[in-house]
Amino acid sequence: MAKQTIQFEFDSEQVWNRIRSRHSVFLDTNCWIQMADEADATACRVRDRLKEAVIARKAFCPVSWGILEELFLQSGQSLALTSSLMEELSLNACFVMRTEVFQ
């Protein structure tokens, strides 16, 4: 089996510049999953409005370590859809500690 190396870099200043003038919209795990899985019309409408707000540079939806832990419990298509949506709406901003979320 071939070994794959993935280079990982995180530029916190670049992320800050991307999000600093936006409103942060915190979502729980169920909301992320329902939007990604298109659970109902409300979930789709919220997802679409959030996408519009992110594109318009008005908002972003940061994730937290707890949300990522829940994501890792998923599998298959739901995992792929939810993680893709998280990347799109979070702009790769993650609050690691609970105190950071409340700040």
Model confidence pLDDT, tens digit, residues 41-66 = 999 999 999 999 999 999 999 998 88
d(CA 40, CA 38): 6
**Whether the model pTM is above 0.85:** no
Beta strands 94-95 and 63-64: pairing type? parallel
d(CA 24, CA 32): 15
